[in-house]
């Protein structure tokens, strides 16, 4: 399962009253990410695109950027988008059988503990630790 994708965007640098960058994408209707630095704009765009996937409930395949019309000063760039939030919410769940001591199983039942959730959270922590 891919955890990240590269997504095409349009970047434009402005030097009017201030200096800043604006990122838009014909793929993501209404998205306007900006920042004082290119890195800030890219971070915002990456988050906005990931959030858009969550709202759409699927990962949109982008249009071919070679067909995009660019205005003067605009350039195409690719944003790395983290899909973790999307997969946490909409990723396919698989059934796994685990073995736990009977006394823990009884305790979990008595205390209405969701063992699947506990196991998933523990696995996420291990994944984050590397």
Q: What is the pLDDT of residues 67-108, one digit of tens each?
A: 899 999 999 999 999 888 777 776 777 788 899 999 999 999
Q: How far is CA 16 from CA 10, 34, 110, 124, in A?
A: 19, 14, 65, 45
Tokens representing 42 are 């890219």
Helices first, then strands: H and E counts in the chain:
4, 4
Q: What was the pLDDT predicted at 42? A: 95
User: Which candidate, 2, 7, 89, 91, places its Cα nearest to that of 47?
Assistant: 7
Q: Give me the domains of the chain, ranges plus CATH numbers.
A: 4-90 (3.30.160.250), 93-130 (no CATH)
Q: What is the pLDDT of residues 41-70, one digit of tens each?
A: 999 999 999 888 888 888 888 889 998 999
Q: How confident is the model at residue 1 (pLDDT cuts 50, 70, 90)?
A: low
Q: Indicate the pTM of the whole model.
A: 0.66
């Amino acid at each position: 399962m891919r955890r990240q994708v590269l997504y095409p965007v349009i970047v434009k640098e402005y030097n009017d009253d201030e200096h800043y960058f604006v990122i838009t994408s014909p793929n993501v209707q209404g998205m306007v990410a900006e920042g004082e630095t290119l890195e800030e704009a890219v971070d915002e765009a990456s988050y906005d695109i990931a959030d858009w996937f969550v709202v759409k409930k699927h990962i949109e395949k982008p249009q071919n950027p070679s067909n995009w019309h660019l205005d003067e000063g605009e350039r195409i760039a690719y944003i790395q988008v983290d899909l973790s939030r999307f997969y946490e919410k909409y990723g396919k769940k698989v059934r796994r059988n685990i073995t736990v001591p009977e006394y823990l199983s009884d305790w979990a039942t008595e205390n209405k503990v969701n063992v699947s959730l506990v196991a998933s959270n523990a696995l996420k922590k291990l994944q984050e630790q590397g």
